[in-house]
């Protein structure tokens, strides 16, 4: 049978000999049939299971008419906002509308509504009444409990309540969607569903469920919110996690236990499905879908992340247990890439949330689950951690030996503390530098202040400095000049102006001057967002300083770019507020001069000094080479507020 896209019109449904689809899949993204997009994986899985699936991408939500395109489906509707939460997709951290949408045709915004999952479900109800609706994807997954919403600055209901859907699927969803599809087809009572990776509404709390504070309580009591979040966080494990209940008025939200990650053979089979690996031809006249270009010639090799950074939603979505595809599966996909139109010999990435994780952190995780009271890498690597890059190196070697492959890059980022924890990590750094870096390597130290790093769950500055040293040495041995592109974050919970000043001084001392910087973005489902809202750390219930005032956030951001003339007044104000006027002056230890350049001798001297410390004279952060060229910052508008969920569904 000829490989083709799933139908997007009733004419295409009839052309397949169907009288009606079993499922209509509604998505806020354009239709891209590529395994980096959740809608492609889920729709192809359902197709492989024998279901008839019609795609309804980016429907006109201003009325219910477009939702009637295929008529009433035989079983029901599947709804997702897309790869990214629709509010994050639409607004910057300053709550300003974005002008671009990488997941829409031509990269244009305006093709989906705010809170897309809720809007789509409401239109479906308007069109078809009590038709079964299942919701999933990042937006649904991370909003499954009553949650703090940054854009409303208030606690909202579970999205299952506000959408009026029958079932919510959280996590990656391959197993759960097939079980939910069968449940929907058999029309069993929703409140009886105990499928792992799902949430439903019920009239009371069943036996065996942990009940957390109600929606009404957590919306008015911040301590109760923090305590409820900690229960969610601790129980977010497929091996040892318990089901959770939360009352919403007279109804109860039931979260069943998280589903186990796919085994390697299951993951291999998912990536072997017959994807078109392209966006639908209907977008050709609009310039295609930009997000596809970022991943078209990349290979997703792993899932999950045991790094457990506080600001990252991966713990609540993909989970802390890492699973990976087999070498054979990865090589098979690479061979397929070499035959695609437009392939020029470069595999752009082989990785995932963290490229250099390939297996669970320790032997106990698949049997006992990830530890509830400790992290694998923070504050230092656990003594049970198995840090080993040999399999990853072997796969990378095999890929670059393939006919038609010129270069294999690692661009999804690596966890440098995991590299240092590997007794043979030096070998990995040498291979990485020599064969898999495209002039620059992305790493995420995020900050240098111990107080901030503690709240972030990131390693000490000394660990990053050691990686810099080894990276520099490997480049020298290879006769190369390649650069690190470090990501730093301002205004994270726990970060004071003095912490921001310390980061600015570190950047000055190491010659780093980022073109763009990142503010902390409070998104649903993260530990850091719970800190932001409650001003408590749910892990120990201790108070946390939160820089929520827009003026202070602007000052912290300006300190990260203290050398830019446009930031001069903000930097001066930040230093005065922080009591660090000793850093205002002409000396080598100062961040900024006390006044603009003048014609006087001192002013000329100061100007000369500033010139020596800027422009071409700036140093790379790992040594005495010149800093990376301006474009080497490798940051697009999207990456300044990066989502570490990667291509999560």
pLDDT for residue 485: 87
pLDDT for residue 229: 98
pLDDT of 301 reads 96
Nearest to 465 by CA among 516, 412, 420, 517: 420
For residue 194, what are its two tokens?
Answer: 């105990």
DSSP code of residue 202: E
Q: The whole model's pTM is what? A: 0.90
- Could you tell me which of 372, 55, 422 has the C-alpha nearest to residue 236? 372
576 preceded by cis ω (within 30°)?
A: no
Rounded to whole angstroms, the Cα distance separating 424 from 429 reads 9
Cβ neighbours, 10 Å, residue 99: 10
Question: Taking the domain 10-193, which CATH number applies?
Answer: 3.40.50.280
pLDDT attached to residue 601: 42
Cβ atoms of 118 and 61 within 8 Å: the answer is no
User: Which of 85, 160, 83, 36 has its CA nearest to residue 521?
Assistant: 85
- For 296-325, letters b (16+ CB in 10 Å) and e give bbbbbbbbbbbbbbbbbbbbbbbbbbbbbb
pLDDT at 641: 41
pLDDT at 600: 43
Question: Where do the CATH 3.40.50.280 domains begin and end in the chain?
Answer: 10-193
From CA 413, how far away is CA 425, in angstroms rounded?
A: 16
pLDDT score recorded for residue 438: 86
Q: Give 458-492 pLDDT, tens digit per residue.
A: 999 999 999 999 999 999 999 999 999 899 999 99
pLDDT computed for residue 592 by the predictor:
93
Q: How far apart are CA 211 and CA 520, in angstroms?
A: 31
Q: What is the pLDDT of residue 512?
A: 83
Q: What is the pLDDT of residue 383?
A: 95
Give me the residues of the chain with pLDDT under 50, please: 598-649
Could you tell me the CA-to-CA distances from 2 to 5, 6, 8, 275, 336 in Å, in that order?
10, 12, 17, 12, 17
Confidence (pLDDT) at 120? 98
pLDDT of residue 595: 74
**Which position has the token pair 């995020």?**
446
Q: Would you call 296 helix, strand, or coil by DSSP?
A: coil
């Amino acid at each position: 049978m000829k490989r083709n896209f799933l139908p997007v019109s009733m004419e295409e449904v009839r052309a397949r000999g169907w009288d009606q689809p079993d499922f209509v899949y509604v998505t806020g993204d354009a239709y891209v049939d590529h395994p980096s997009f959740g809608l492609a994986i889920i729709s192809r899985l359902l197709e492989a299971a024998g279901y008839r699936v019609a795609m309804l991408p980016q429907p006109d939500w201003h009325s219910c008419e477009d939702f009637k395109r295929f008529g009433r489906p035989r079983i029901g509707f599947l709804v997702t906002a897309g790869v990214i939460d629709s509010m994050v997709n639409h607004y910057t951290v300053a709550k300003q509308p974005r002008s671009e949408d990488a997941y829409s045709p031509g990269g244009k915004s305006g093709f989906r509504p705010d809170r897309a999952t809720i809007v789509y479900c409401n239109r479906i109800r308007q069109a078809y009444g009590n038709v079964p609706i299942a919701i999933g994807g990042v937006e649904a997954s991370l909003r499954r409990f009553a949650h703090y919403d940054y854009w409303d600055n208030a606690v909202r209901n579970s999205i299952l309540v506000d959408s009026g859907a029958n079932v919510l699927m959280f996590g990656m969803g391959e197993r759960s969607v097939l079980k939910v599809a069968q449940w929907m087809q058999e029309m069993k009572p929703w409140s009886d569903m105990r499928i792992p990776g799902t949430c439903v509404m019920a009239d009371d709390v069943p036996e065996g469920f942990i009940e957390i504070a109600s929606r009404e309580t957590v919306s008015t009591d911040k301590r109760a919110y923090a305590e409820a979040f900690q229960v969610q966080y601790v129980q977010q494990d497929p091996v040892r996690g318990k089901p959770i209940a939360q009352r919403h008025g007279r109804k109860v939200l039931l979260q069943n236990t998280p589903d186990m990650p796919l085994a390697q053979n299951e993951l291999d089979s998912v990536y072997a499905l017959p994807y078109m690996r392209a966006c639908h031809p209907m977008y050709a006249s609009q310039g295609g879908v930009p997000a596809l270009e970022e991943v078209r010639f990349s290979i997703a090799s792993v899932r999950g992340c045991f790094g457990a950074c506080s600001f990252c939603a991966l713990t609540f979505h993909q989970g802390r247990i890492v699973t990976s595809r087999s070498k054979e599966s990865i090589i098979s996909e690479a061979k397929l890439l070499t035959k695609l139109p437009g392939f020029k010999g470069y595999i752009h990435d082989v990785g995932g949330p963290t490229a250099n994780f390939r297996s669970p952190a320790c032997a106990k995780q698949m049997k006992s689950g990830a530890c509830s009271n400790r992290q694998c890498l923070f504050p230092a690597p656990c003594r049970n951690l198995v840090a080993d890059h040999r399999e990853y190196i072997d796969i990378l070697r095999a890929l670059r030996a393939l006919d038609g492959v010129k270069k294999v890059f690692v661009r999804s980022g690596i966890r440098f503390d995991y590299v240092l924890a590997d007794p043979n990590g030096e070998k990995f750094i040498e291979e990485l530098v020599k064969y898999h870096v495209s002039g620059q390597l992305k790493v995420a130290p995020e900050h240098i202040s111990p107080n901030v790093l503690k709240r972030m769950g990131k390693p000490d500055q000394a660990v990053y400095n050691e990686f810099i040293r080894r990276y520099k040495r490997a480049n020298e041995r290879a006769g190369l000049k390649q650069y690190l592109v470090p990501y730093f974050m301002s205004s994270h919970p726990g970060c004071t102006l003095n912490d921001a000043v310390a980061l600015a001084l570190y950047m000055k001392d190491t010659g780093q001057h980022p073109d763009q910087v990142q503010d902390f973005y409070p998104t649903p489902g993260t530990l850091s967002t719970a800190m932001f809202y409650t001003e408590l750390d749910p892990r120990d219930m201790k108070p946390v300083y939160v820089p929520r005032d827009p003026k202070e956030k602007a000052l912290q951001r300006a300190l990260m770019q203290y050398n830019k003339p446009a930031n001069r007044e903000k930097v001066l104000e930040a230093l005065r507020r922080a009591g660090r006027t000793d850093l205002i002056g002409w000396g080598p230890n100062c961040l900024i001069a006390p006044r603009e350049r003048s014609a006087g001798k001192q002013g000329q001297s100061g100007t000369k000094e500033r010139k020596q410390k800027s422009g071409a004279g700036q140093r790379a952060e790992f040594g005495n080479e010149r800093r990376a060229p301006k474009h080497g910052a490798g940051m697009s508008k999207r990456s300044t507020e990066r989502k570490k969920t990667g291509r999560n569904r």
